Amino acid sequence: MNTTSGDVLALPRTQTAAAHTGELPRLVYLAVAGLACLPIVLLWDISHHSTIGRDTFWTPAHIIIQLGGIVPALLLAAIALKTTFRGTEEERDASVSFWGFRAPLGVWVTVWGAMAMMTSAPFDDWWHNRYGLDVRRST
């Protein structure tokens, strides 16, 4: 059996900035808490649909789901406004511009996801009303 031996070269060390979690705005923690509640509420809503069937938009599960999207979107939109109008030069350089506003990429992804979720609710009702789909199966 042939073996090849050679010198192992170490990769050069690079300078990386340390994460400063103490510098995160308090709004981020509130947004993460709101987003963390969504899987629990979604399970609640799915189990309700599976056992009882379709319900109105104004059930507690649906309201909490919508708030779980709206609240983080509003909080992170506040970060976008702060970065745009009162942000430091470093914050602006590290941000992404969208329609003249500047914010970190994660803010824009979260706001886009929340907007998509909020606009999908009427289409969900339309889909079920048009096609008469129900989670319950009649036997």
By C-alpha distance, which of 50, 66, 70 is closest to 58? 66
Q: What is the pLDDT of residue 2?
A: 56
In a domain, 5, yes or no: no
Q: What is the pLDDT of residue 103?
A: 83
Q: C-alpha distances in angstroms, 28 versus 22, 23, 83?
A: 11, 11, 14
Task: Give how many domains the chain has, as a whole number.
Answer: 1
What is the mean pLDDT, run by run of 10 residues, along the chain of 139 residues? 60 59 69 79 83 78 82 83 82 79 84 82 68 52
In a domain, 12, yes or no: no
Q: What is the pLDDT of residue 139?
A: 45
Q: Which two tokens stand for residue 124?
A: 């969900």
In a domain, 45, yes or no: yes
Beta bridge partners of 96: 103
Q: What is the pLDDT of residue 124?
A: 67
In a domain, 17, yes or no: no
Is 108 in contact with 96 (CB distance < 8 Å)?
yes
Q: How far apart are CA 68 and CA 81, in angstroms?
A: 21
In a domain, 10, yes or no: no
Q: What is the pLDDT of residue 138?
A: 47
Q: What is the pLDDT of residue 104?
A: 84
By C-alpha distance, which of 125, 72, 82 is closest to 102? 82
95: containing domain: 25-127
In a domain, 67, yes or no: yes
Q: What is the pLDDT of residue 14?
A: 61
In a domain, 6, yes or no: no
Q: What is the pLDDT of residue 107?
A: 83
